[in-house]
């Protein structure tokens, strides 16, 4: 599972890194400032292909299927198990044609402490300082209760992070980890015309252990209201 992560690299820098067009910043888009404690249901940045070009824009974290009656269902869909997305009604359509990359500067998992009910938060980042490229899915939900100026339903763009088996290093903390895509996988993953889900599923391998740094951090991250660079400072 991935329930909290860090997003501090600017949209412009991420657009350059992923070869995408930077977002059009307006009130509705609401691109967030740097966050050290990104939580579900918040707007996050995602890289996707809109049919004309590769773009980076804001999506709500927690996928809302197009058939949903209530967008609150997205609160239960912040992650999608990569092993079952081809069969699940919520994910098989976006897996076929609406895939995205969710950039993250790092993410948190909580490690069980032997003999205690408490858990130690661990911060995981790339050893080279580059952002992770989490595999994601996105969807559009039409809100029948909100109409735009043309009298059409307002649209909600939402997304989810794919998870899979952990590598050896992450397995010491948690039994799942985000699916991380190498640069060689970005083109086929974002290609809207690529419907070969069987071949795409072969991308769901754990990232190499040597790519990731794991450090214990303060329990201050447990509270979503706390948000600052001190959250990722390693502790003894």
Catalytic pick from 100, 109, 139, 159? 109
Paired with 178 in beta bridges are: 163
Q: For 225, list phi and psi in degrees, rounded to 5.
A: -75, -20
Give whole-number Cα distances, 223 to 90, 120, 121, 230, in Å: 29, 13, 11, 13
Closest by Cα among 3, 37, 66 to 221: 37
Answer positive or negative: Cα dihedral of 107, 48, 29, 160: negative
Contact 107, 173 (CB under 8 A): no
Paired with 16 in beta bridges are: none
Residues recorded for the chain: 236
Give one word for 62, left, alpha or beta, with left for phi > 0 and alpha for psi -120 to 50: left
Our answer to whether residue 100 is catalytic in this structure is no
Our answer to whether residue 2 is catalytic in this structure is yes
Which residue's structure tokens are 């600052």? 228
Active site members? 2, 109
């Amino acid at each position: 599972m991935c329930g909290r992560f860090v997003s501090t690299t600017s949209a412009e820098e991420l657009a350059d890194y992923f070869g995408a067009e930077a977002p059009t910043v307006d009130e509705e888009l609401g691109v967030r400032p740097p966050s050290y404690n990104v939580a579900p249901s918040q707007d996050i940045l995602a890289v996707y292909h809109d049919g004309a070009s590769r773009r980076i824009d804001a999506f709500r974290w927690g996928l809302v299927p197009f058939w949903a009656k209530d967008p609150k269902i997205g609160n239960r869909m912040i992650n999608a198990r990569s092993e079952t997305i081809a069969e699940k009604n919520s994910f098989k359509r976006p897996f076929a044609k609406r895939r995205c990359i969710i950039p993250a500067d790092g993410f948190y998992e909580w490690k069980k402490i032997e003999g205690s009910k408490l858990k130690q938060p661990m911060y995981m980042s790339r050893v080279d300082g580059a952002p992770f490229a989490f595999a994601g899915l996105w969807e559009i939900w039409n809100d029948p209760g909100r109409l735009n100026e043309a009298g059409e339903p307002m649209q909600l763009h939402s997304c989810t992070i794919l998870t899979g088996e952990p590598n050896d290093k992450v397995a010491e903390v948690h039994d799942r980890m985000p699916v991380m895509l190498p640069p060689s996988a970005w083109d086929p993953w974002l290609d809207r015309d690529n419907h070969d889900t069987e071949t795409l599923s072969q991308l769901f391998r754990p990232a190499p252990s040597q790519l990731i740094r794991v450090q214990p951090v303060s329990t201050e991250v447990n509270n979503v209201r706390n948000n600052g660079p001190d959250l990722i400072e390693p502790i003894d």
